[in-house]
């Protein structure tokens, strides 16, 4: 028999993450929450709040299938909310990226999300078709999907893929009574920006930009919205605009409103000047260094 209590499955809920904040927020509103992460140890503390914790590796179809079987057993085969929050960030200059790292990121951010949707949509179709609170999928994209955030080309593209997929999914699932929300996540203080990973080999064309890169990460970490505030804003928006056709595009987190406005009104060149300024792109000394490294690289090829 299907559970009468509304249920939510949230991926990527490790300690300190936005997923953790979402799990706590939805649980506080009376939903039965299933929080997942690759390591059970990283989410065990959520049990104290009445949240059910389960392991999940979104890059593994076997792990997803096992989770679907377990959720089916616990809920009687239905799910009200699928919150695809899990994801990773890999940064590097586009022409110097590590291919393996990029593919791993896409497996988590893009293909893992695709697989979660396919696996759990049948459970969403079983949920009560309430027009005011329809079964819902929330897919986490990013404001970086629409702006040229330097040294993050592949991550930006992965989130743009999520946004495009989610928008089409919205139309395809509407006749089935399932709502799809695309969440353009702004800057949130979750530790997504890892300073120790912001490094380049000495022979990189962009080596001299590393200090500016790290400072950008530090500044964004400080200016990020608190995860709890972010989660509250998302939950408020989903519940207030819960009916089909409302709240299907959501911009939440620090700088999200500004990015939405610049993107919506076509003032995209402002993105260039902003991200270039953060990275010292027009600093005469750094530009000269980049030009010299380019000449050295060309000479080696010759």
Predicted TM-score (pTM) of this structure: 0.94
Question: What domains does the chain contain, in order, with CATH numbers?
Answer: 7-301 (3.40.50.720)
pLDDT tens column, 73-95: 999 999 999 999 999 999 999 99
Average pLDDT over residues 147-154: 97
Starting at the earlier edge strand, list the strands of the sheet with 249-252. Answer: 52-55, 32-37, 7-10, 81-84, 136-142, 179-185, 249-252
What is the Cα–Cα distance from 81 to 37, expressed in whole angstroms?
17
- Where b means 16+ CB within 10 Å and e means fewer, 108-117 reads bbbbbbebbb
Alpha-carbon distance values, 258 to 143, 170, 192, 262, 288 (Å)? 10, 25, 21, 6, 33
**Is 60 exceeded by the pLDDT of residue 285?**
yes
Mean pLDDT (the chain) is: 93
**SS3 annotation, 169-190:** HHHHHHHHCCEEEEEEECEECC
Which residues are catalytically annotated? 155, 159
Write the burial class of residue 204 (CB in 10 Å: 0-12 exposed, 13-18 middle, 19+ buried). middle
- pLDDT score for 152: 97
């Amino acid at each position: 028999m299907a559970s009468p209590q509304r249920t939510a499955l949230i991926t990527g809920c490790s300690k300190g993450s936005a997923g953790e904040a979402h799990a706590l927020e939805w649980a506080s509103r009376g939903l039965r929450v299933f929080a997942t992460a690759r390591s059970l140890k990283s989410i065990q503390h959520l049990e104290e709040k009445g949240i059910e914790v389960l392991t999940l590796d979104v890059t593994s179809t076997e792990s997803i299938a096992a989770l679907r079987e377990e959720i089916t057993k616990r809920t009687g085969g239905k799910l009200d909310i699928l919150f695809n929050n899990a994801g990773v960030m890999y940064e590097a200059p586009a022409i110097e990226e590590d291919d393996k790292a990029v593919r791993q990121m896409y497996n988590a951010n893009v293909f893992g999300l695709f697989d979660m949707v396919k696996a759990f949509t049948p459970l969403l179709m079983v949920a009560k078709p309430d027009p005011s609170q329809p079964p819902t999928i929330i897919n986490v994209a990013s404001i970086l999907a629409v702006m040229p955030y330097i040294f993050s080309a592949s991550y930006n593209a992965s989130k743009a893929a999520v946004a495009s997929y989610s928008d089409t999914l919205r139309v395809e699932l509407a006749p089935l009574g399932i709502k799809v929300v695309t969440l353009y996540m702004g800057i949130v203080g979750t530790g997504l920006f890892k300073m120790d990973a912001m490094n380049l080999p000495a022979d990189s064309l962009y080596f001299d930009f590393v200090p500016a890169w790290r400072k950008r990460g530090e500044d964004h970490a400080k200016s990020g919205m608190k995860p709890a505030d972010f989660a509250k804003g998302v939950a408020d928006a989903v519940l207030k605009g819960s009916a089909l056709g409302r709240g299907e595009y959501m911009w939440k987190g620090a700088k999200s409103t500004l990015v939405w406005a610049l993107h919506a009104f076509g003032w995209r060149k402002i993105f260039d000047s902003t991200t270039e300024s953060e990275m010292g792109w027009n600093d005469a000394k750094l530009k000269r260094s980049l030009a010299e490294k380019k000449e050295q690289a060309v000479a080696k090829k010759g």
